[in-house]
Amino acid sequence: MMNLRLTDLGKRPLQILCLGAHSDDIEIGCGGTILHLIESQPSTHVDWVVFSSSTPRRREALRSAGLFLKGTKSRNITVRSYRDGFFPYVGMKIKEEFERLKRRINPGLVFTHYRHDLHQDHRLLNELTWNTFRDHLILEYEIPKYDGDLGSPNVFSPLKASTCQKKAAFLQEAFRTQASKPWFSNETFLALMRLRGVEGNSPTGFAEAFYGRKVTLQLQ
């Protein structure tokens, strides 16, 4: 297994774009990796974009982003209010959001939803991510849910157990509206990271996992 380091992307501070359809998607999918990157590279700039939120969910999204991004010196948080479950029917408006992002930022790393996620909102964001950021490193994250659409990711981000515990605690602290859902639990989040840790041979036993569909290998 080959180990790659994000510090190899260049000498300038890392710029990350995090895209999530719903208020807790980014945190569930790549929250631990974000915490780790900010801890190891505080100069990292993060653009954090959530596309769907009601009034209470918007408050939760902003609170959660504040928790996860607390250590970074530079961040930009955007929370939109597109209707949950209806993204394919307002695709043109969401496409315009992506066009504005493309004109404003040039990220070194993009986190987005998994291509074969069974939630229609998630799939649309994935499609628009690849349409918009063609020459960028894109990692697709996974969201555990009732549909049972977890696959076999090929990129693993080893995480300290304490980082995983912090991720789970932040999720519970920020997203109180989700407390009644039986799957929204520390056990769910930690179990998935433990499983991916086994698959990725993580020295800590924990990892988040992603799909890296296109990576250019520069041999010289």
In a domain, 4, yes or no: no
Mapped onto helix, strand or coil, the DSSP state of residue 203 is coil
Domain count, the chain: 1
**Domain range for residue 195?**
12-211
CA neighbor of 68 nearest in space, from 175, 210, 147, 156:
175
pLDDT, one tens digit per residue, over 71-82 is: 998 999 999 999
CA atoms within 13 A of residue 201's CA, in its CB half-sphere = 4
- The CB density around residue 157, as the number of other CB atoms within 10 Å, is 24
In a domain, 78, yes or no: yes
CB 30 within 8 Å of CB 212:
no
- pLDDT tens digits for the chain (220 residues)? 667 666 555 567 899 999 999 999 999 999 999 999 999 999 999 999 999 999 999 999 999 999 999 999 899 999 999 999 999 999 999 999 999 999 999 999 999 999 999 999 999 999 999 999 999 999 999 999 999 999 999 999 999 999 999 999 999 999 999 999 999 999 999 999 999 999 999 999 999 999 999 888 777 6
- pLDDT at 4 (0 to 100): 67
CB 159 within 8 Å of CB 193:
yes
In a domain, 164, yes or no: yes
In a domain, 199, yes or no: yes
- pLDDT at 96 (0 to 100): 98
Q: pTM of this prediction?
A: 0.95
CA distance 140 to 210: 5
Joined together, the tokens standing for residue 44 give 């990292």
In a domain, 217, yes or no: no
In a domain, 1, yes or no: no
What is the domain-level CATH number for residue 87?
A: 3.40.50.10320
- pLDDT at 219 (0 to 100): 76
- pLDDT at 12 (0 to 100): 74
pLDDT, one tens digit per residue, over 4-20 is: 666 555 567 899 999 99
CA neighbor of 50 nearest in space, from 32, 73, 28:
28
CB proximity list for 164: less than 8 A, separation 6 or greater = 32, 189, 190, 193, 206
CA distance 27 to 13: 22
In a domain, 220, yes or no: no
- pLDDT at 216 (0 to 100): 81
DSSP letters along 17-46, please? EEEESSTTHHHHHHHHHHHHHHHH-TT-EE
In a domain, 219, yes or no: no
CA distance 208 to 164: 9
Joined together, the tokens standing for residue 165 give 């515990």
- pLDDT at 168 (0 to 100): 98
